[in-house]
Amino acid sequence: MSSERLAGLLDEYAQLEKRLADPAIHADQATARRVGRRYAELVPLHKAADGLEQARADLAAARELAAEDPSFAAEADAIAGSLPVLEERLAELLIPRDPHDAKDVIVEIKAGEGGEESALFAGDLLRMYTRYAERHGWVTEVIDAQDSDLGGVKDVSLAIKTKGVPDGGNGVWSRLKWEGGVHRVQRVPVTESQGRIHTSAAGVLVLPEAEDVDVTIDQNELRIDVFRSSGPGGQSVNTTDSAVRITHLPTGIVVSCQNEKSQLQNREQAMRILRARLLAAAQEQADAAASDARKAQVRTVDRSERIRTYNYPQNRITDHRIGYTAYNLDLALGGELDGVLDALTEADRAARLAGDTELTRR
């Protein structure tokens, strides 16, 4: 393990601890939350380093006592046997982690091939992630949505946040970053009169939610258009220009929002999505020469480029990146996703320990 890296991180931990102890930092909640998240990320490392140091000290003391009294030899051997486990844990924590792991996320779900059935499946995915968030005590907020005629969704943006500082720096992104890509469903659609199984797909994009300090946006580089809402919304629909479309001219990224009743609220929500997309784009550009989990997210809703299949007749869920299969689709759609997410996290951990930064995708 790198002693210089360990010393640097432990020094950062000490500095953050001092900052959080200063009441002045809490006058700026955004700064306090950011510092608190980074501190939480380093707590496991500090505990592991402290535990290893204490074990080594105990071993030295036990061996010294064993030299005078052989009855302490067994204790010394037991402590010595625990050291490799402690050293491996510390080495794992020293591997550079995903810098976004503590962040909240914006999940975008788009219906793809399959028409109305695809929109219904997109709605199923929306409920799945909402229920998963509820199980973990997270807060969800639909930023923008375009509903379909039969109760599905054509396009939806869902913000998912932790309450307070996530334990160990493991925020929503650390769990849901694996969800980006094409999700394929095989089932008999409600619109199918002959009972035939159809295959359709929906695309999922997971973005770490950006804070103001993460992305700098020049207002002069934005084109903001307003238009009348076209979706549900009661009497305000098609009567006021409350919907907002923002185009980031340097990148060509376009976001729109029409869920809120006021133009100002829609603009604020659209800016949230724009910041998240710009942060993701900047990260991809910085990692252009590498291949990591975020770059593996599929932007096109093509049924052939799927990361996961949901097979209703067999009650089966299969993640094609790591060969994971379970026959509990009903539970997964009800929000019990930890089985597949744990498997993906473990595959990533094993890859990082082996020095490979790319999660196996096929």
What pLDDT, on the 0 to 100 scale, is given for residue 105? Answer: 95
- Please say whether the beta carbons of 48 and 56 come within 8 A: no
- Identify which of 20-34, 108-122, 217-231, 321-335 has the greatest average pLDDT: 321-335
Q: What is the DSSP string of 127-148?
A: HHHHHHHHHTT-EEEEEEEEE-
pLDDT single digits (tens) 94-108: 888 888 898 999 999
* DSSP assignment of 272-325: HHHHHHHHHHHHHHHTTTS--TGGG---S--TTSEEEEEETTTTEEEETTTTEE
pLDDT for 211? 77
Q: Averaged over 106-118, what is the pLDDT?
A: 89
Q: What is the pLDDT of residue 149?
A: 84
Distances (CA, A) of 51 to 8, 43, 47, 56: 18, 12, 6, 9
- What pLDDT does 164 receive? 79
In tens, the pLDDT along 121-157 reads 999 999 999 999 999 999 999 998 988 888 899 999 9
